[in-house]
Amino acid sequence: MGTAQNRALRCSVLLCFSILVFLLLSSGRVSGQSLPVFACDFGSNPALENLAFCDTSLGIDMRVADLVKRLTLQEKIRFLVNSAGNVSRLGIPKYEWWSEALHGVSYVGPGTRFSKVVPGATSFPQVILTAASFNASLFEAIGRVVSTEARAMYNVGLAGLTFWSPNINIFRDPRWGRGQETPGEDPLLSSKYGSGYVRGLQQNDDGDPNGLKVAACCKHYTAYDVDNWKGIDRFHFNAMVSRQDLGDTFQPPFKSCVVDGNAASVMCSYNQVNGKPTCADPDLLSGVIRGEWKLNGYIVSDCDSIEVLYNSQRYTKTPEEAAAKAILAGLDLNCGSFLSKYTAGAVKGGFLDEAAIDKAISNNFATLMRLGFFDGDPRKQLYGKLGPKDVCTPEHRELAREAARQGIVLLKNSPGSLPLSPTAFKSLAVIGPNANVTKAMIGNYEGTPCKYTTPLQGLTASVATTYEPGCSNVVCSTAQLEDAKNIAASADATILIMGADKSIEAESRDRIDLRLPGQQQLLVTEVAKVSKGPVILVIMSGGCMDISFAKSDDRITSILWVGYPGEAGGAAIADVIFGYFNPSGRLPMTWYPQSFVGKVPMTNMMMRPDLSNGHPGRTYRFYTGETVYSFGDGLSYSSFNYHLIQVPKLVFIPLEEGHICHSSRCKSLDVGEQHCQNLGFDIQLRVKNMGRMSGSHTVFLFSTPPSIHNSPQKHLVGFEKVFLKAQTETQVRLKVDVCKDLSVVDESGNRKIALGQHVLHVGSLKSSLSLRI
């Protein structure tokens, strides 16, 4: 009797267990998997269906207004900070706003984490290398993959929906440690990257123009590019910026992010601009971002920057005044806890009224509603079926490899050097502190990658290798020369993989030296002297390196810059070296000589040269000195020829009768709707691949404007990446908007159409264009 009962009990337990397993599998859930965080959970509280803010048939404005009026002041204040509090009586859970996705879903920030359920996410190249592809469709494609993986992680409780990326600050000075996070030094490229990546992150697949897949955030607004240089840090730095430099260099990427990309957020920076903290400047926040650019979203502070403006910058006498000034300037969300501590006191002290708080949290709630956070269970919504299976897919990982391939820049290539034939070259000496790295390849604001392929692994997949690091790390205090020289002397070719990592350049770590760190140069030079075959120097870095010594050394036959190439970086480097891929990357920033650092302090924000104090200017648009390599430099295994088919010589600007410029000699006109409407033209050219290898090629269109308003030497007007099979040609059409693309910014910060002769450059071809009234 007892045995039968035990058997029945065991069967009952097994049956229950089987049913439980079936239910878990059928629901798509696996061990350790959490539920997503969301409001308006009708399943757990049916009464919520009667609340207007949970009613998806109503407009977002009505839903937000209904929610805000139900909250007490103390409850409202909970929604002014990144770790937003819950209101259980209204079915609103805690929400963490701070997640990052600079070049893949990141573990930086408390909103995202990895676990056994999702152990890693696709880690794309650091932004500076992706920008070097000059491929706008790639920028957007990466954003789409990142947002898919982000939504998949949100659905299992591992991520939020608000990602504080991209970083679109201009890489103004080569010493900046965070230049690696940016698209480079050019305002147009930065604008195209920022708006493209934002569209990739945000655009819904159901066609709803107001819906958000995830919410992007363009940062750090504005003129932020000093982290910690010679004791001057970002928390105390006052960036003195002319209106002209603000208008034609620092602001355009942010404007494009909001206007063209429809970004859901902008982050204000730590620094002051002309004496005002950016997070407490009503002109910059309410005036420009929300007023001129019509931001549809929220403005967030960099983390603890309100505390910084009070404690470090002493901008206000009391913390309550600091809280009030930030909110009244147009700030909606505080990364940090400052507003949760001092906003109530600001209201009580008369510095702030509750209506200003209502306005701020309304912008925050509207963003969450566009994300579907208040629409009930997300697993029943558009992206509800995404899960761990949609992270680190073969397609996503291949795109990471392709992005690295497209960005890698070939800077030097002597005849008979690259590409190496994997059949003719039987052995490789692989040398350098970055030759077998993993984490260094993904730079900062990284996540746990799907899988690493180191440079050594990538090369070894095709040819037998011997490896010596040559230095214990990139600091390279003492180079170990003998072992490195020995393997180079006997190998058919030598690959030296040098450069930097986060110990050299990073957030809060600016450089003071542009040369290869420590004894890296000595290692390269000594190895090159004894190498039996071609010597290929590979530079892994975010910023430029003064490698003049290698450029002029005939024994160093090829040079590649590979940025921080992401999880598949080693495979991509091998693809280029062995000719499986024809390199097409172009430098997104100027490579300055070491002498530059002695001519101008990093804290001097001026873009334009000043002969009175020896300031040579900055970036290709204004720099007047010698370069190691220039913006846009990059070679291919093929050569490409251009032939101009169509380019205008004269464009007339229509003016209304009685305009002052009819009677007086004007050098420029204000950019205005009346004479800018439909004012544009096309440039058509034929591009031919003259080589024996198929490959991609970027066509650049530059313009040199008339010499008025201290205008740039030249500036990028447009670019187009084309793929051509060997010995084939195609036509490329570049559209030019006269008021947008051929205008300059005057000394007062106003955009003007420069009248007179403009010179258009496409490769070595030049064509004059006259703008007249």
Catalytic positions:
302
Question: What is the per-residue DSSP string for 428-446?
Answer: EEEESTTTT-SGGGG-SS-
d(CA 577, CA 428): 12
Q: If we measure between CA atoms, which residue out of 305, 362, 310, 315 comes closest to residue 336?
A: 305
Amino acid at 619: T
The half-sphere exposure of 459 on its side-chain side, counting CA atoms within 13 A, is 27
Q: How far apart are CA 170 and CA 178, in angstroms?
A: 10
Two structure tokens written together for 343: 């906003």
In angstroms, the CA 132 to CA 638 distance is 18
Q: Are 501 and 474 in contact (CB under 8 A)?
A: yes
Helix, coil or strand: residue 539: strand
Burial of 90 (0-12, 13-18, 19+ CB in 10 A): middle
Q: Is 340 exposed, middle or buried (0-12, 13-18, 19+ CB in 10 A)?
A: buried
Which residues have CB under 8 Å from 308's CB, separation 6+?
235, 270, 277
- The Cα–Cα gap between 137 and 264 comes to 21
Query: Strands, E, within 3-61: which ranges?
Result: none
List b or e across 301-329, with b for residues whose CB sees 16 or more CB atoms inside 10 angstroms. Answer: bbbbbbbbbbebbebbeebbbbbbbbbbb
Give dist(CA 720, CA 392) in Å, integer.
30
DSSP class of 379: G
- Helix H, strand E, coil C: the string for 655-693 is CCCCCHHHCCCCCEEECCHHHHCCCEEEEEEEEEECCCC
Q: Which of 762, 688, 680 is nearest to 719 (CA)?
A: 762
Scanning 249-315, the segments in alpha helix (DSSP H) are: 252-259, 305-311
SS (H, E, C) 68-80: HHCCCHHHHHHCC
Spell out a b/e string for 249-274, using b for 16 or more CB atoms within 10 Å of the CB, else e: bbbbbbbbbbeebbbbbbbbbbbbbe
- Per DSSP, the residues of 127-155 read HHHHHTT--HHHHHHHHHHHHHHHHHHHH
Q: How far is CA 125 from CA 120, 132, 452, in A?
A: 15, 11, 12
The radius of gyration of the chain's CA atoms, rounded to the nearest angstrom, is: 28
Residue written as tokens 């604001």? 445
Q: Which residues pair with 715 in a beta bridge?
A: 703
Contact 301, 333 (CB under 8 A): yes
Is 429 within 8 Å of 493 (Cβ atoms)?
A: yes
* Strand locations in 482-525 (E): 493-499
